[in-house]
Amino acid sequence: MSRAPVRVSRRCGKRPIRVSFEFFPPKTDDAEAALWDSIHRLAPLGPDFVSVTYGAGGTTRERTQSTVTRLVRETALLPAAHLTCVGASRAEVDAVVRDYAAAGVRHIVALRGDPPGGVGAHYAAHPEGYQSTAELVRGVREAGDFEVFVSAYPERHPESPSLQHDLDVLQAKVDAGATRAITQFFFDNDVYFRFLDKVRSRGIDIPIVPGIVPVQNFRQTAGFAARCGASVPAWLADRFEGLDDDPATRRLIAAAVAAEQVIDLLDRGVRDFHFYTMNRADLVYAICHLLGMRPQAEADHAGDEPLPMAAQ
Ligand code: FAD
Q: What's the pLDDT at 217? A: 85
Q: Of 85, 138, 157, which is best to mutate to test ligand 1, by the most ligand atoms within 8 angstroms of its C-beta?
A: 157
A 10 A CB-CB count for 203 gives 8
Distance (Å, whole) CA 86 – CA 113: 6
Q: Kindly give the number of the ligand 1 atom that is closest to the alpha carbon of 133.
A: 3
Instruction: Give domain limits for the chain.
Output: 18-301
Residue 195: enclosing H or E segment and its boundaries? helix 189-201
Count of C-beta atoms within a 10 Å radius of residue 244: 11
Inter-CA distances, 202 with 94, 138, 159, Å: 31, 21, 21
E strand or H helix that includes residue 99: helix 90-103
Within a 13 Å sphere around the CA of 51, how many CA atoms are in the beta-carbon half?
28
CATH architecture designation of domain 18-301: Alpha-Beta Barrel (3.20)
Counting DSSP H helices and E strands in the chain, the numbers are 11, 13
Cα 79 to Cα 39: distance, rounded to the nearest angstrom: 11
DSSP run (H or E) holding 296:
strand 294-297
Higher pLDDT, 104 or 299: 104
Residue 311 has pLDDT above 70, yes or no: no
Mean residue pLDDT across the chain: 89
Distance CA 234, CA 93 (A): 41
Q: How remote is the C-alpha of 171 from its chain's centroid?
A: 19
Cα Rg of the chain (Å, integer)? 19
Confidence label for 122 from pLDDT (cuts 50, 70 and 90): confident
Does 306 have pLDDT greater than 50? no
Atom of ligand 1 nearest to the CA of 168: 9
**Nearest one of 311, 310, 312, 307 to 106, comparing CA atoms:** 307
Helix (H) or strand (E) holding 259: helix 247-267
Q: How far is residue 82's CA from residue 113's CA, in Å, rounded to a whole number?
A: 10
Nearest CA to ligand 1 atom 29: 53
Secondary structure of residue 152 in the 3-state scheme: strand
What CA–CA distance (Å, rounded) separates 19 from 21? 7
More confident residue, 218 or 268: 268
Task: Tell me the pLDDT band of 296, cut-offs 50, 70 and 90.
Answer: low
Q: Which pTM does this prediction carry?
A: 0.92
Higher pLDDT, residue 305 or 174: 174
Give pLDDT tens digits for 4-58.
333 444 555 556 899 999 999 999 999 999 999 999 999 999 999 999 999 877 6
Query: Which helix (H) or strand (E) element contains residue 51?
Result: strand 49-52
Band of pLDDT at residue 283, cut at 50, 70 and 90:
very high
Report the alpha-carbon distance of residue 51 to residue 150 in Å, rounded: 12
Which one of 111, 114, 208 would you pick to mutate in the ligand 1 pocket, going by the greatest count of ligand atoms within 8 A of its CB? 111
74 is catalytic: no
CA of 134 to the centre of ligand 1 (A): 11
User: How far, in Å, from the CA of 173 to the mean position of ligand 1?
Assistant: 12
> 205-255: per-residue pLDDT in tens?
999 999 999 997 888 899 989 988 899 999 999 999 999 899 999 999 999
- Residues in contact with ligand 1 (CB, 6 Å cut-off): 53-54, 56, 82, 84, 109, 111-114, 123, 132-133, 151, 157, 159-160, 165-166, 169, 182, 184, 211
How far apart, in whole angstroms, are the C-alpha atoms of residue 183 and residue 213? 11
pLDDT tens digits along 61-110: 899 999 999 999 999 999 999 999 999 999 999 999 999 999 999 999 99
